[in-house]
Structure 1
Amino acid sequence: MPANSLDRSIVVGVDASESALDAVRWAAVDAALRGAPLHLVFAVPPVDDAPLDESPVRLLHDRLRDTAQAALDNAAEIARKAVGDRLVPGIRTFLVDEPAVTVLSGLAETAYFVVVGVRGMSAYHRSLLGSVSTGVARHAQGPVVVVPGGTEPISDRPVVVGVDGSVHSVRALEIAFDEASRRDVPLLAVHVWEELSGDTRSHAEAVELLTGMLDRNAAEFPGVEVKTLVMEGHPARILLDAAAGAQLLVVGSHGTRGYPGMALGSTGHALLHGSECPIAVVRLRN
């Protein structure tokens, strides 16, 4: 599957779980809102060393592929129902013989979003059953949206974005403005500084930083109502509280204290495992 065939599409990681269908519904609506193709990908672990056609390993692999194709066909039908009368340029399915984290992380280099689901909304369940979603969010070179179970694809709730001045949060803010505009909801921009980490800025300096970053995007999205929250405290805790009534939380993969090549910062990791609404983890592409 050529990488450029998925350029600027919304890619969804599909498996046979109900949580994957929550991700499909969210992604289908988002694709319709931006007029992007929707591509559904089911990754089946490859068979090592190509065993004989009638071997138990080969037969099991073939059955897995049959199950995967049936899941893809069902996901495509779910996507069509989710968008209703909205237009999606194309819904395509892809069945690939490759580990899920590997293939989805690779597709994130060109797709607009890679969207994955998680089984259950608690940190406990995610730590046990969300290895693919966690792996993709940690390693993908591009924006990844993780969708909890029971998520409404669209609502009148706001979009929340974490802004800390890092290059990743600059891109996160652009995406958050775009999502709020397309969904016709307010945007809540949250900036948190933490004195315990050695950040000695004043409240006024923090407000100035956030205002400056917002000004870069406000002119492009004049219809978006922007609200702000500037606080000193624990970033993950404050962002999770702010996102409790949101339809989407957007954050950079790591903040100003992260280093090049870092997979996921401590705040991003805590948000990924604690958010009860869909969370977009934004990492700049290399």
Structure 2
Amino acid sequence: MKGARIEGVLMSEHILVGTDGSKVALTAAEWAALEAEDRGVGVTVVGVYDANAFHRRLVRPKDLAEREAERAVTTTIARMAEVAPVVDAVGEVVEGPSPARELILRSESATLVVIGSYGTGLLHGTRLGTVADQVAAHSRVPVVVVPNVPTETDARDVVVGVDGSPGAEVSVEAALEFTAASGGRVHALWAWSAPEAMVPIGSPEEEQLRRWRRADLDKALRPVLKRHPNADIVHEVVRDPPARALLTGVPRVRLIVVGARGAQGFSPLPLGGVARGVLYHSDIPVMVVHHPDV
């Protein structure tokens, strides 16, 4: 039943959801269903199983592995129907050794990928699983990683990191697209830090640096505001390391949007330190956005 559809046909504009039937996967699916409802698009739910691995270990036969993947997909679609019954969802069961690879390949035809922060194979004490890490690092489209924490459905605002890099500009565009569908405002956040011994809190030097960073933020947002003159963007300048500023700088947000790599990112790495830090420590969904030219 490799590549079989549970129902329907693959949609041209859709959100791609990876599932293994775990609790966090179902939480991610609920989030994806609500987002699909806001955007007016469908959802494709993909379950991947490695029949050869089961056969080699003599643990479970191939058909049982396939049935478990089918059950995970069916359960996920049913859960999505409970929270967003109007959303058209189809399922696909795929045989392959790497769930991350299958999701990355299918991301080319999707508008967004949504995945739980970890699955059934999570090691104790880890907050980000291998599949979520790899998909966030290599997807062709934005990826939302959802932790195993209920989302505040009344929270509508989004915070996005800005540092003047081309990737940050693309991230702001993604944040605007999200709020256009779900409502709320975009908080564009520029984080900066300096040793307190050199720049005391409340000092004239701190205020001067804050004004400079605000000017940097205004300059970085100018091209976006030129394209979207009516965009509701709140300018935020926070004295804190970037990852911590994104995690704590703006209260009650529904989503954190971060570029895969920022201005200081080491180019061979698909995910920079800020993106990885936010993914590992966030208690709310995180969208990772790649610059199309990278």
Q: TM-score range by the shorter chain?
A: 0.7 to 0.9
CA distance in 2, matches of 1:245, 1:126: 26
Q: Which amino acid aligns with 1:24?
A: A
Match of 1:96 in 2: 94
Match of 1:63 in 2: 64
Structure 2 matches for 1:1-286, cutoff 5 A? 7-47=12-52, 57=58, 60-84=61-85, 87-88=86-87, 90-98=88-96, 99-119=98-118, 127=126, 130-152=129-151, 154-195=153-194, 202-218=209-225, 224-285=231-292
- Change in 2 beyond 3 A, CA 1:232/1:152: closer
- Change in 2 beyond 3 A, CA 1:147/1:177: same
For residue 249 of structure 2, give the secondary structure of its aligned residue in structure 1. helix
Return the offset for 1:214.
Answer: 2.9
Sequence identity percentage:
28
Q: More displaced, 152-161 or 214-223?
A: 214-223
Return the offset for 1:94.
Answer: 0.7
State how many pairs are aligned.
270
Q: In the TM superposition, what whole-angstrom CA distance separates every residue of 1:60-97 from its partner, at most 9, and x where no partner exists?
A: 2211110111111111111122114xx43x31101011
Q: Which amino acid aligns with 2:220?
A: M
- Change in 2 beyond 3 A, CA 1:43/1:180: same
| TM-score, length of structure 1 as denominator length | 0.83
CA distance in 1, matches of 2:137, 2:72: 26
For residue 212 of structure 1, give the secondary structure of its aligned residue in structure 2. helix
CA distance in 2, matches of 1:128, 1:13: 17
Return the offset for 1:219.
Answer: 5.8
CA distance in 1, matches of 2:289, 2:125: 20
Q: In the TM superposition, what whole-angstrom CA distance separates every residue of 1:47-70 from its partner, at most 9, and x where no partner exists?
A: 27x97xxx9859522111101111
Return the offset for 1:13.
Answer: 0.6
CA distance in 1, matches of 2:139, 2:48: 15
CA distance in 2, matches of 1:222, 1:154: 28
Return the offset for 1:37.
Answer: 2.0
Return the offset for 1:127.
Answer: 2.1
Q: Which amino acid aligns with 1:274?
A: H
Show structure 1 runs of 5+ residues with no match. Answer: none
Q: More displaced, 256-265 or 24-33?
A: 256-265
8 A Cα contact 2:118 2:130, kept in partner: no
Q: Which amino acid aligns with 1:176?
A: A
- Change in 2 beyond 3 A, CA 1:245/1:263: same
CA distance in 2, matches of 1:192, 1:112: 29
Show structure 2 runs of 5+ residues with no match. Answer: 4-9, 196-207
8 A Cα contact 2:169 2:224, kept in partner: no
Q: In the TM superposition, what whole-angstrom CA distance separates every residue of 1:22-53 from its partner, at most 9, and x where no partner exists?
A: 111111111121122200000112427x97xx
CA distance in 2, matches of 1:221, 1:183: 17
The runs of at least 4 consecutive aligned structure 1 residues that moved more than 4 Å come to 55-59, 123-126, 219-224
- Change in 2 beyond 3 A, CA 1:246/1:219: same
